[in-house]
Chains A and B, each alone.
Chain A
Amino acid sequence: MMLNFLKTCLLLQSVIFGSPLSATEIHFLRDVAPILNQRCSGCHGPGRSDGDLRIHTFDLLMKAGASEAHTVVAGKPEESEIFRRITEVDDSIRMPQKDEPLSAAQAEIIRQWILQGAKFDGEDRQRSFRSQLPPAEHPVAPEVYRVPIPIFAVAWSPDGSELAVGGFHEVLIRSATDGRLLRRLQRLPQRIQAMRYSADGRRLFVAGGTSGDYGELTALDAVSGDQRQVLATFEDIVLGLSLSHAGDRLAATSADRTVRCFHVSDGRMLWTSRLHSDFVTSVAFSHEDRFVATGSKDFTVKVLNANDGSLFTTYNGHQRQFGSESGRFDIAAIAFSEDSPLAFSAGKGRSIRVWEPEKAQQENGSAADMEERFSNNGHTRYFPHESRRGIVQLRVSGQRLFACMGEGIVKEYNVLTQTHVRDYSARHERCFAMDLHAASERLAAGTIQGTVIQWETRTGNELLQFPGLPILPSLP
């Protein structure tokens, strides 16, 4: 984004100073597509097709709309409808309608691109530009934050010495013992929604993006912040991230409804799945890494084969009309037991579902009475909670299940006895982020006011509380 902005300034300068623009080569994805995305695809895109025109993929851009005028005629801007309409003086004809016109610099970029032959430099003419955009350049984070923002992700380093805290365009690495700021890993996506350390603690995987606009999964050196590799960009923010138990694969889920799986070793993408019909909020690898299960706002959990992303089964337990469990509930968190095939899924609604993928498939998970049969056979168990805001994170360790409620209370359950063990309270501050360090029996949560709280899970005692983000103290 920043690059585009700079580019635009440069171009504008060249227009002003009259130097020939043709000297600069226009790249479609880098220079043109962002303009189309921001100014045109609202009405002529995936959601709407005013005037029978959609221009969010290259093939569509090359087709005419209802007016039958060619949108783009390579080499001839004056004959191209798009250029004619963005430079029109009559407000009733000029695009975008009822909106500010494109800047002179933007119009010039489009003119030059057409003049230079209207070439496409992406991979796929049928996929949206948005999905093929080069990784965005991210700015440096503000030195201090003017106002509190929520912590969307926290992650323990494998040795338990450090805690990574998601900030604004950055990850803050803090000492786990006293909360001291150790490093700021900068120029990262705007929101950090999920983080995972590699098993050796040397790499950090960071997922996030900009709501409604952009998503990114990046790997970087956990100490220096260097050796960056953008594993993939997404059309909307990345929400879920999970590392396989073997540590060799990584799965990420996005608000753009996709689930993607990567090799940790070289960052290569293994497979993509597009089965969900709404935000995919959460992901987890199963016991022995056989499955990847994904929870979504579409009320389903998809159980995918970890090898190729094919669908194994769909768990519909969050949208069944069954006794006190009736309703349709968003799913925001999912986790697997480390040593049994048990899956835990939760979100809105008043209980965490505990179930097994194999049984879900055997019982024909699509049948309307599935949930009732499951319950009768003991195949689904319900851990009740009273959260009105829903469960936002789940973590499992042995027989211990930790569920972070939106209200800012982490509830611990015993999986074996199905009993509630204790609550860890974030003192009335809402929470979106939570992580567990099983070996040292420590739990950390980040609040929406930017505070980090640590507890000892052996005793339930609060260990530590510190500001996770560099927020300007509010004036008294």
Chain B
Amino acid sequence: MVLPTTALRLFLLILSGLMADGDRSTESRDIQTLEVFPSEVQLSSKRSQRQLVVTARAADGTTWDVTSVVGMTLRDPELALITGTRLVPQANGRTLLTVTLGNARVEVPVSVTGQETEEQVSFRREVLVALTKQGCNAGSCHGAPDGKGGFALSMLAYAPEIDEESIIYGGLSRRITPLEPEDSLLLKKPLLQIPHVGGKRLQKTDAAWEILHDWIQQGAVADTVSAPACEGISVYPPGTRVLRLPGGRQQLSVMANFSDGSHRDVTAIATYATTNAEVLKVDDSGFVTGIQRGMAAITIRYLDDVHSVFFTVEQDREGFVWNGAPEAGDIDRLVNARLQQMQILPAERTDDAAFLRRAYLDLTGLLPSVDQVRAFHADPSDQKRSQLIDRLLASEEYSRYWASKSADLMRANQAAMPNGRAELFVDWLADSIHRNQPFDQFAEELLTAAGDASSTPAAGYFLAIPEREALAETTAQLFMGSRINCARCHNHPFESWTRNDYYSIAAVFARIRSEGSILSVQTSGEVTHPTTNAVMKPWGWKQMPGESADTTDRRERFSEWLTSPDNSWFARVEVNRIWAHLLGRGIVHPVDDFRSSNPPVNPELLDWLADEFRRVGYDRKHMVRLICNSETWQRSAAASEFNADDTSLFSHAAVRRLTAEQLQDAIGQVTRTVRPIQNLSAEIDRTQQELATASQSLQTAFPMWLEGMQKKLSDRECWQTMWMYSGVYAESDYDRAISMVYEPEAEQEANRLFAGGVRWIRKTDWLDGQQHAFPPSSPGAHYIARRIHASRPGKVVLEFGSDDGARAWLNGVQVLDKPQRRGIKTDEDRLELDLPAGASTLMFKVIDAGGYTGFACRLVSFDGVPIRELDIPLEIAELLQTAPDQFTPEQMELLQAVHRTSDAGLVGLTQRIRDQKRRLEYQTQRSVPEQNEFLMAFGQPRRESPCACERLSDSTIDQTLQILNGELVWNRTREAANHYAAFDNTAVAEEIYLSALSRFPTASEQQQIRTLLETTPNRQEALQDVIWAVINLQEFVFQH
């Protein structure tokens, strides 16, 4: 048995010999076989090489990597060099490689061909990869947007054509000297042979040095256009690996697969990074070493392809014995399997008090009332926990609290969703949760919403995010769990997200347009790639081949893809969010950062949950119920020697600070400064009854009201309806916008202006005589149209002005032709028009050259008599033209609705119910929580970002001060003293403890409080002190 003779190998052997017993990687006695990857080595060109990976297999089937400690000899050493653990070809021929360790031995055939032909170093496949490996094109170095020191590269080589220009030709070809390669700046700078601000970045022993050097020596030429593209990398060993300490290690082998069907070993030039340096390290050659117990991934990058290998590092813990923790179902089974592997003991089941408080806080955001706590403690049933979970899941509070979690991420704030739209939007979210709408249907309804957000609240999602790029980012983060933002400007540094992907997702939203509260879907509009200018195919099309992009709303196709069973993201992302809400941490963490380099801590668990979610038809409540009924969720927060260091595998409950809203509500509940929630539903019932009575009486008055309204209208000689607006018909230049005949003109000719294909937008707020702006755009045409009613033929006078030029038609006959560019002057054009009796149609075309655009129009007089404004909505006025017996049921309903809203009392009652439903006193229940000092201090999000990280959960001095002597706490504890004054000195302790901590006070707590109350002269103040002290308990501020 000949051992390798290099000093390094000997050193390694000596070193490993000194290691503790049980380092199996160097013990050869229990090795049954050695397995070498690849089983046959083919080196078919001058620049090829092959990484070897040697695995030992014991009799019991366990395997471990021994690549770095085996002996390797070639029968014919002339044919190839053994460089480290790689084979590098030298001469054509066939031979055998013998790999030995102890008594184990295996032979691998080696064939070397193609050594007679020179092989060009590839610029794209080798040089750029080498630069990435050395960090040259990192975002903080030459990959910065303007580069560094006058040398700019594309970040991580996403744009080889940019790199080609600056490396080969930049600065008058300054950086390369093919006739004296070592004199090239490209080498001298990173070698630090001349000053380099970036420091030493290259050693002559690096694989990158040889690549750069040889490429320059060969003339430093770019690849030919036909050079094959990389289509992906494959890594050996595949899948998840377990390393056992001490000594656990793994050599990786990375193959790149090219479009021409060829493969190349790129192990030496790929870039490696660890996701957790405390658990795992990796060197430049892809050699991974375990450091301590835990989980981490190694991320491997080659060009645009990123691949991750998950590792679990096992390490024996002294004295560890599995405790056979009970398992309520698959969740516990999978969680425990992981815990057992990592030698972590799960905690005990928590007690009733902690369970109760946890269940209420997690499911409703609120504390249980004193009565509820007493009842639960008194309940002897062994089903009481699951019964409580069911009750809470059915409650209104659950829906509202969980809706607020989504609302936080969907910009449901007053600025992004003004005029009450935020409240409507959150009501809609809460309703969806309450009726347990399947999550796929919810996503589809949200992502394809269109129309007026005051009647279709889901459309508010799009109105709140006006930019399609931001929509792409938000949607990806919410539903795909991916932060694609980076890919807006460059390919993602840790992931395979490319700019193509990014703009494909943006293209999904290219055809929606928002105007005030209305979201409409257009038939045209594209997104182009900012550098290639290619029109992007919307995301979902490539993934789901079928009909072309332009026939339907693109979002429908996207939603279809999103919710299809083939999309692994959808179910996983949502169950992971649910899990994180309940356990305080996601299986993938953070919850919106799914990527191969951020592996789930328990992949089997996540897979199982996602499968279950799909199996039950995306039933959200079912998943919450399952998790809450698991032993895992019901574990105590008390840590033990064998789980104290676990923060991510769910061995014990995570102690979490109450959220800002939960805390303010909890203080309100303990201090009795907010109404108990049970009383609320009774109030809602009462108000509803009042409303029913009032509606009844109003109903009888409706015919009279209608008659009065019609009379009022028929007394008018002339009146007009509200404006209808077409939106913009974008055009390449002004002249085209003038000459083109767009839909409204065509429909007018076809005599069906308001019945044709034009998607008119009602402009209820465009008042007569005022100036109104159109949304700014590139050149194009805008149409506005309305009807004018006259009781008899007569002459009407109008004043009109626009930016820029305009044309007008009355009943299809052109009455204005001023297409020249101009600024707005409200009375520039004075139109005198002869109206027939009845309804006439007036339409303007306003042509825009770009920049500001808008118009003003005023109906001045009818037959010389000035015209007064109408005090009923114009659309109703239009409707009132119809005889009462001709109304359709829908029209009747509309009129009745107008009637109801004209009654102040009824409006007030309706509003009161809505407010009560929104539980305005409760921050966890409100559609839009208050924004006050207290809430902000505790990390309340402003709802401006789709990132769950916007809610801050860390502790600050400000928080301590707020709780110790903030205004809110002070005022509320003082009021609370009044409430608790009614209890005697024994009962009061119990009342406060049950209310704040969901448990009875201990005898000594009871005693302390009684003593305090008895010995303090001012009982009121003493009571305030007691309440204050309880609020300041860690037990109160945290959930266990």
The reply to whether B172 and A432 contact each other, CB–CB distance below 8 Å, is yes
Query: How far does the Cβ of B167 sit from chain A's closest Cβ, in whole Å?
Result: 13
The reply to whether B194 and A213 contact each other, CB–CB distance below 8 Å, is yes
Interface residues of B in 156-190 (CB under 8 A from A): 169, 171-175, 177-180, 183-185, 188-189
Closest to A42 in B: B192
Q: Say whether, besides A42-B193, A43-B192, A213-B194, A145 and B199 are in contact (CB < 8 Å).
A: no
Closest to B178 in A: A147
Query: How far does the Cβ of A165 sit from chain B's closest Cβ, in whole Å?
Result: 15
With an 8 A cutoff between CB atoms, is A62 at the interface?
A: no
Residues of B within 8 A of A432 (CB): 172-173
- As a 0/1 sequence over residues 181 to 215 of chain B, the CB contacts with chain A under 8 angstroms (1 = contact) are 00111001100111111011001100000000000
Interface residues of A in 389-434 (CB under 8 A from B): 389, 392, 406, 430, 432
With an 8 A cutoff between CB atoms, is B219 at the interface?
A: yes
The reply to whether B219 and A147 contact each other, CB–CB distance below 8 Å, is yes
The reply to whether A211 and B192 contact each other, CB–CB distance below 8 Å, is no
The reply to whether B179 and A47 contact each other, CB–CB distance below 8 Å, is no
The reply to whether A145 and B188 contact each other, CB–CB distance below 8 Å, is no
The reply to whether A147 and B218 contact each other, CB–CB distance below 8 Å, is yes
- Bound: A76/B173 CA distance, A: 46
Q: Say whether, besides A147-B218, A190-B180, A278-B150, A211 and B175 are in contact (CB < 8 Å).
A: yes
The reply to whether B197 and A150 contact each other, CB–CB distance below 8 Å, is no
Q: Size class of A's contact patch?
A: 35 or more
The reply to whether A448 and B173 contact each other, CB–CB distance below 8 Å, is yes
Residues of B within 8 A of A213 (CB): 183, 188, 194
- As a 0/1 sequence over residues 187 to 202 of chain A, the CB contacts with chain B under 8 angstroms (1 = contact) are 0001101000000000
Closest to B189 in A: A212
Q: Say whether, besides A212-B188, A430-B169, A148 and B200 are in contact (CB < 8 Å).
A: no
Interface residues of B in 457-501 (CB under 8 A from A): none
Residues of A within 8 A of B204 (CB): 100
Residues of B within 8 A of A38 (CB): 193-194
With an 8 A cutoff between CB atoms, is A239 at the interface?
A: yes
Residues of B within 8 A of A278 (CB): 150
The reply to whether A43 and B185 contact each other, CB–CB distance below 8 Å, is no
- Bound: A392/B195 CA distance, A: 27
Q: Say whether, besides A147-B219, A149-B178, A212-B189, A99 and B203 are in contact (CB < 8 Å).
A: yes
- As a 0/1 sequence over residues 273 to 305 of chain A, the CB contacts with chain B under 8 angstroms (1 = contact) are 000001100000000000000000100000000
**What's the dominant secondary structure at chain B's contact region?**
loop
Residues of A within 8 A of B197 (CB): 47-48
The reply to whether B192 and A96 contact each other, CB–CB distance below 8 Å, is yes
Residues of A within 8 A of B178 (CB): 146-147, 149
The reply to whether A212 and B179 contact each other, CB–CB distance below 8 Å, is no
Q: Say whether, besides A46-B195, A96-B192, A392-B172, A211 and B200 are in contact (CB < 8 Å).
A: no
The reply to whether A43 and B199 contact each other, CB–CB distance below 8 Å, is yes
The reply to whether B179 and A145 contact each other, CB–CB distance below 8 Å, is yes
Query: How far does the Cβ of B976 sit from chain A's closest Cβ, in whole Å?
Result: 61
Partner of A406, one of B169, B183, B184, B196: B169
With an 8 A cutoff between CB atoms, is A168 at the interface?
A: yes
- Bound: A255/B171 CA distance, A: 10
Query: How far does the Cβ of B132 sit from chain A's closest Cβ, in whole Å?
Result: 20
Query: How far does the Cβ of B926 sit from chain A's closest Cβ, in whole Å?
Result: 49
Interface residues of A in 102-148 (CB under 8 A from B): 142, 145-148
The reply to whether A47 and B195 contact each other, CB–CB distance below 8 Å, is yes
- Bound: A259/B683 CA distance, A: 88
The reply to whether B185 and A148 contact each other, CB–CB distance below 8 Å, is no
Closest to A98 in B: B200
Query: How far does the Cβ of A216 sit from chain B's closest Cβ, in whole Å?
Result: 15
Query: How far does the Cβ of B175 sit from chain A's closest Cβ, in whole Å?
Result: 7
- Bound: A41/B199 CA distance, A: 11
Closest to B149 in A: A47
Partner of B169, one of A168, A212, A389: A389
Residues of A within 8 A of B174 (CB): 211-212, 237, 255
- Bound: A142/B199 CA distance, A: 33
Query: How far does the Cβ of A86 sit from chain B's closest Cβ, in whole Å?
Result: 15
Closest to A392 in B: B172
Query: How far does the Cβ of A172 sit from chain B's closest Cβ, in whole Å?
Result: 14
The reply to whether A150 and B179 contact each other, CB–CB distance below 8 Å, is no
**Can you show 7 pairs from A to B with CB atoms below 8 A apart?**
A41-B194, A42-B200, A46-B195, A47-B197, A96-B192, A211-B183, A212-B189
A-side residues, CB < 8 A to B, are: 37-39, 41-43, 45-48, 96-100, 142, 145-150, 152, 168, 190-191, 193, 210-213, 237, 239, 255, 278-279, 297, 332, 389, 392, 406, 430, 432, 448
Known: A211-B183, A392-B172. 12 other contacts (CB 8 A): A42-B196, A48-B199, A98-B200, A99-B200, A146-B178, A152-B172, A190-B180, A190-B183, A210-B177, A213-B194, A237-B174, A255-B174
